[in-house]
Amino acid sequence: MDLLRSEFLEIKALIEEEENQAMKKVEEEEKRVCDKFDYVHNVLGKKKNEIQVIRDQIEMALTEDDDITFLKNAAKLRHTSTKEVFIPRIDLDQNLIHTIYQGAFSLKEIVKRTVNQPQEKKVEANLQWKPKAFQINPSNKLSASGRKAAGSQAAKIGKAPQKPQPELSEDADTRDKRKPAKSAPNTANPGATSLESFLTKSREELLEYAVKITLDFNTAHNKVLLSDRNTKMSVSEIPQKYSPHPQRFTYCSQVLGFQCFKRGIHYWEVELQRNNFCGIGICYGSMDRQGADSRLGRNSSSWCIEWFNSKISAWHNDLEKCLPNTKATKIGVLLNYEGGFVIFLGIGEKHNLIYKFKAQFTEALYPAFWVFSSGTMLSLCQLK
């Protein structure tokens, strides 16, 4: 117990050190920006005093009764010039902040996988290996048949049966009617879990894969207004003065999630709060940010479902598939990266499948959103 305690104390110390280093970097960036603000504040204070002195001189000149003296003082004041104050651009290094956060997020995912792995393997081994009773002869030695059975069982320990996974349906608007091979869920390899198994899960079971999603304002089009700590998006009638950024959308009023996923199973929900001119999907980070090809679903790098008034469509690679209407105002998105599919669900008293895409993903995927007309509003549900 002492040895175990010392090992875990060391693990905690390493994680705390990583946390301290990350917080220190953010604090240093905060201090850098605050120092700039303090400098500008001091410069503006000096400029304010300078202008105040000139103002006092002007007011004194206006009280002068002697016209000759007034004209002399006025002539001197005319030669007094005030230069515009140069105010440097002050903003946080968003790339640095993003990198620090992604590092912490990646560390968390590694720890979660590492912590869950031993338990999963243990459960799997218990399910797969059931030792047979050994045959014992009167001399308390294993018989030949007993030794043979023991040897064969020992050879099987820890080896999971290799069963073929059910093939995913290519037709994404109807469920695959072929019955998948019955097999125990492979918890050690979440990516191998079949699409059909998720379609039968309850919402409570889907919430086991819930992730927290926030919006990355560096990608937001200038007509997209972000609010509620970057969890709500709407169409702004007044263009936002976002600073230029290589990841910002310039053609379509779209925005990406801050988080990206390159492995595992992830689930999030989006509420359609107003209007029906919007789109919800996923995309690669390499998707275009300019031109008509940058719209969700109009390229090979994105998959989405789209509401255009009363019409609902699924889009990928500039191909549209019209879908049956749904009254659901809350949409669940489940991404299985290794499994190679993403499904969109209408969430209500019972969730129902809206559409499913099958693909072999090759890059990190980001949640993606499109809002079109004035009044459109989407809100990310905080499931954690």
Mean pLDDT rounded to a whole number for the chain: 80
Q: Which amino acid is it at 229?
A: R
In this structure, the strands spanning 254-256 and 277-284 are unpaired
Encode pLDDT of 207-231 as tens digits. 999 999 999 999 999 999 999 999 9
Per-residue pLDDT of 30-72, as tens digits, reads: 999 998 888 888 888 888 888 888 888 888 888 888 888 888 8
346 pLDDT higher than 90 = yes
The predicted model gives 257-265 an average pLDDT of: 93
Question: pLDDT: is 70 or 257 the higher one?
Answer: 257
Amino acid at 88: P
Q: At residue 336, does pLDDT exceed 80?
A: yes
What's the rounded Cα separation, in Å, for the pair 269 and 290? 27
- Amino acid in position 27: E
Using DSSP's 3-state secondary structure scheme, residue 120 falls into helix
pLDDT at 271: 93
pLDDT confidence of residue 193 = 64
- Describe the strand order of the beta sheet including 330-336 as a list of residue ranges: 224-227, 232-235, 377-380, 265-274, 330-336, 341-347, 352-358
Q: What is the token pair recorded at 38? A: 């303090």
DSSP type of residue 142:
B
Please spell the DSSP secondary structure of 314-344, one letter per residue: EEETTEEEEE-----SEEEEEEETTTTEEEE
Residue 114 per-residue DSSP state: H
**Residue 5 confidence class, pLDDT cut points 50, 70, 90:** confident
Cα gap 304→371, rounded to integer Å: 13
**pLDDT of residue 295 exceeding 90:** yes
65-69, 134-138, 184-188, 323-327: least confident range: 184-188
> Per-residue confidence at 384, pLDDT binned at 50, 70, 90?
low
Amino acid identity at 348:
G
Element (H, E) at 347: strand 341-347
Instruction: Among 133-142, 235-244, 352-361, name the one with the lowest average pLDDT.
Output: 133-142
More confident residue, 73 or 359: 359
Instruction: List Cα–Cα distances, 216 to 68, 166, 169, 270, 308, in angstroms.
Output: 65, 36, 33, 16, 24
Instruction: Identify which of 344, 352, 353, 276 has the alpha carbon closest to the alpha carbon of residue 316.
Output: 344
Q: For 187-213, what is each residue's pLDDT tens digit?
A: 334 444 678 888 888 889 999 999 999
Per-residue pLDDT averaged across 250-257, rounded?
94
pLDDT at residue 128 is higher than 60: no
Burial class from Cβ neighbours inside 10 Å (0-12, 13-18, 19+) for residue 370 reads buried
Q: Kindly tell me if the per-residue pLDDT of 21 is higher than 80.
A: yes
- Quickly state the pLDDT bin for 286 (edges 50, 70, 90): very high
Residues 109-122: pLDDT tens digits?
888 888 876 554 54
β-strand partners of 367: 282
Q: Of 132-136, 196-200, 261-265, 335-339, where does mean pLDDT reach its minimum?
A: 132-136
Looking at residue 127, what is its pLDDT?
54
pLDDT per position as a tens digit, 351-364: 889 999 999 999 99
Which residues contact residue 164 at a Cβ distance below 8 angstroms, ignoring those fewer than 6 apart? 181
